[in-house]
Structure 1
Amino acid sequence: MASKGRIAIFSIDAKLGREVKGATRYVYLAELLQQSGYEVDFITSRFQHWEKRQRDLDAFDYSAHSFNIKFIEEPFYPKNMCPQRIWAHHVMAGRVAEYFESDHAYDLIYSQIPPNDITLAIGRVAKKYNIPFVIDVNDLWPEAFRIALDVPVLSDIAFFPFYRQAKAAYNLADAIVGTSDEYASRGFKDRAQDIPKVVVYVGNDVDDFDAGVAANADEVNKADDEVWVAYAGTLSACYDLGTLIRAVARIQRDRPWVKLKLLGDGVVREDLEVVAREVSCDVEFLGYRPHDVMAAYLSKSDILINSLVGNAPQSIPTKIGDYLAAGKPMVNTSLSPEFSSKVAADGFGVNVQPEDVDALTGALVDLIDDRSVMESMGQRARAVAQEQFNRRRSYLKIVELIEQLMR
């Protein structure tokens, strides 16, 4: 069958081949487009962001995907926030631009943002050769950086290049996709809303989630009398996990059968371990687990926590699709108006003010002591997962947008 067109997708931090860590949104989209009849080239860095190492391309399993993968060399950097990362992305921006200059026979280019400078470089080449250019907003830079470094005047000066790059990149877009309405709307902060805007949650493939649960259920051992409170995701300053540990420690004084499970890793893990020892919290740091194993843990848990600090960039994070698919009630400390409204309106959880140990403790106790409410919220969560976060359905909106632009 003849190809419906040639599409390039750029993502800097994808999970590819047999890797355990990384983002899957753009990989899933690439597979979907390939299955829909397009020829897809997936452009990415050789540097594996989550592992902080260069991929061994001789050992890489290209057969794991139906689309083409193009690795571009990027310098090493040791941490998520460090000068070396800024330099690495600067170098990568130039090399990605060189790639598209040498091969610009594409009918559409789809690019993740951030990194802002790389997206800008791609957009300039797309505009030069009149190629439809779609930006997918997955995070906000430098807004996310200000959590770790928010110094009056100094931060404004240091982060100004990121703002300038974002503004220039969005002005080159022919359409903007966002992982939430708040993120998609960021693209129109500095331009008129004169191009298509589509909101598609990161979500997950619910069938794959269920298969992971079934395959790993026996490996996740839970006593019948235990109640698990669980968090899955990065352990960083953006997430209000110190408050969560303190709240669960309080609850365990009267309810020692309540356990805390933290799935994931990050730069603040050692700090959190110190907090746990100080308050005598029975918490298990499980580290990163393969997605199918994580699915089994979430399904065995009783309450799931979406825990952000008050000044974190607020949106609908990747984990929400998995949380909802697990069919468990959610306690949400995000201040995102969009997501807080969804939690309340769709009835799958409760909203709690961030960084408030008393409020979080109370919300958890109310759920732990009322099994009927927990069960009802869990049923709503599962229904919302199927209706709004299932990639097999929701990502078709991106395919329709791409078809529209290519026509």
Structure 2
Amino acid sequence: MTDKKRIAIYTQDAKLGNEVKGATRYVYLATLLHEHGYDVDFITSGFQHWEKRQRDVEHFNAGTDAYTIRFIEEPFYPKNMCPQRIWAHHVVAKRVSEYFDWHHDYDLIYCQIPPNDVAREIGKAAQKFNIPFVVDVNDLWPEAFRVAFDVPVLSDILFAPFYRQAKAVYQMADAIVGTSDEYRERGLRDARAGIPSETVYVGNQLCEFDAGVSVNAPQIDKPAGDIWVSYAGTLSACYDLETLVNAMALVQKSHPEAKLQILGDGSERENLKAAAQSCGASVAFHGYLPYDQMAAWLSKSDITINSLVEKAAQSIVTKIGDYLAAGKPMVNTSCSKEFRAKVEADGFGVNVKPGDAEGMARVLIDLIEDSSRRAQMGERARAIAEEQFDRPHSYLKTVRLIEGLIG
């Protein structure tokens, strides 16, 4: 017998065991809670979202994970945005409800949203068995969908179920955690009055980032005099990358030493290659890199780019912690009021209007020609990473919130 408190964490898209791709926010939280004396069941999909393949759950190697992994079977879907994915989540919602009917001896359930329908069923189970329910707002659905599909009236009709599901989840929450103030406040808008809440950035582990730099940076050959402008992350319609490519073509007319490094992959890769060829920009497409190699490339860069389209619903995205950890100035096109204010107040970068290639080119040229300004912004970036984005420190806020709910 054990007197340890038991916690269930649910997430849809984790990087587990020896996998290369996937989200690590909830994996890290599970490990941290284990270190604080909790028994943790890590409940997730048997479908590897990032690689679009089924995991071999019968022979899955969890490595040295300190928590118990429990898989929920999910149907295959081919793309991030497709009807099959919506159906897959619908199936998972039913199966996760059945799981909690059989397994509900938990002292707390910690649940990612989205998917909205899955989170709603988990919230219902928490209420049914009188279990404290913490909702972690990691994205906003359907707001994020409108970037790719925003048709007057039709979008309102199609997306109405997602709004209803989200509202139901927040109303059932006993606490809200957001990956930004904006996301946390979105949850609180529909939640019961007075519940506890925290903003905890996705962040990273600086020790892991720095270790990747130490091992891999010496292997990266950067020609003397080069200025590297780098983007890391998904190549999708949410990110204003064609503007970045066009801006670099303008920059390279007067500064041929400036090179654009794109670290990542996605549905827009071929379109971006075509755009680069059309405007004559020098762009290196490196594809998806393991985290330690990505860290090294960012550390060798001179400027980082957080490039989102105007209507993007994202607030403070995962890559921000890595950009800041690299200690480089950031050019930001996100229209998130929260993040634009943070860029200015914390002094680690410059805001640019999305879609404005000439405006971005002017800012890039100013930074290229002012090495002392780049150095000052880089120092501020690293300081902010250490103060606010380093998980061993920042995630303790989540642990304390959980302790307060469990007692």
Structure 1: gaps (5+ residues): none
Deviation at residue 194 of structure 1 after TM alignment: 2.0
Total equivalences in the alignment: 407
The TM-score normalised by the length of structure 1 is 0.98
Deviation at residue 364 of structure 1 after TM alignment: 0.3
SS in 2 for 1:64: coil
Determine if the alignment matches structure 1 residue 23 to structure 2 residue 37: no
SS in 2 for 1:238: coil
Deviation at residue 2 of structure 1 after TM alignment: 5.0
- The equivalent residue for 1:231 is 231
Counterparts of 1:25-44 in structure 2, within 5 Å, are 25-44=25-44
Deviation at residue 225 of structure 1 after TM alignment: 1.2
Q: Distance in 2 between matches of 1:193 and 1:332?
A: 34
Q: Distance in 2 between matches of 1:193 and 1:384?
A: 32
Q: Distance in 2 between matches of 1:341 and 1:141?
A: 24
- The equivalent residue for 1:299 is 299
Query: Once the two structures are aligned, what percentage of the paired residues are identical?
Result: 65
Determine if the alignment matches structure 1 residue 161 to structure 2 residue 161: yes
Q: Distance in 2 between matches of 1:32 and 1:221?
A: 37
Q: Distance in 1 between matches of 2:395 and 2:2?
A: 23
Counterparts of 1:65-214 in structure 2, within 5 Å, are 65-214=65-214
User: Given that residues 144 and 314 in structure 2 are in contact (C-alpha distance below 8 angstroms), is that contact kept between their aligned partners in structure 1?
Assistant: no
Letter in 2 for 1:194: G
Determine if the alignment matches structure 1 residue 51 to structure 2 residue 78: no
4+ aligned runs moved over 3 Å, structure 1 = 1-4
Structure 2: gaps (5+ residues): none
Q: Distance in 2 between matches of 1:233 and 1:48?
A: 18
- The equivalent residue for 1:10 is 10
Q: Distance in 2 between matches of 1:281 and 1:192?
A: 52
Q: Distance in 2 between matches of 1:172 and 1:117?
A: 13
User: Given that residues 74 and 89 in structure 2 are in contact (C-alpha distance below 8 angstroms), is that contact kept between their aligned partners in structure 1?
Assistant: yes
User: Given that residues 3 and 39 in structure 1 are in contact (C-alpha distance below 8 angstroms), is that contact kept between their aligned partners in structure 2?
Assistant: no
Deviation at residue 218 of structure 1 after TM alignment: 2.3
Deviation at residue 335 of structure 1 after TM alignment: 1.1
Deviation at residue 291 of structure 1 after TM alignment: 0.6
Q: Distance in 2 between matches of 1:115 and 1:390?
A: 26
SS in 2 for 1:388: helix
| TM-superposition CA deviations, 1:121-153 (whole Å, max 9, x none) | 000000000000000000000000011110000
SS in 1 for 2:190: coil
Deviation at residue 3 of structure 1 after TM alignment: 4.9
User: Given that residues 264 and 287 in structure 1 are in contact (C-alpha distance below 8 angstroms), is that contact kept between their aligned partners in structure 2?
Assistant: yes
User: Given that residues 3 and 37 in structure 1 are in contact (C-alpha distance below 8 angstroms), is that contact kept between their aligned partners in structure 2?
Assistant: no
Deviation at residue 189 of structure 1 after TM alignment: 2.5
Residues 215 and 144 of structure 1: CA distance in aligned 2, closer, same or farther (over 3 Å)? same
| TM-superposition CA deviations, 1:34-75 (whole Å, max 9, x none) | 111100000000100000000123442222311110011100
User: Given that residues 172 and 191 in structure 2 are in contact (C-alpha distance below 8 angstroms), is that contact kept between their aligned partners in structure 1?
Assistant: no
Q: Distance in 2 between matches of 1:149 and 1:219?
A: 42
Q: Distance in 1 between matches of 2:75 and 2:322?
A: 33
Q: Distance in 1 between matches of 2:386 and 2:70?
A: 33
Letter in 2 for 1:229: V
Letter in 2 for 1:139: D
User: Given that residues 18 and 64 in structure 1 are in contact (C-alpha distance below 8 angstroms), is that contact kept between their aligned partners in structure 2?
Assistant: no
Letter in 1 for 2:15: K
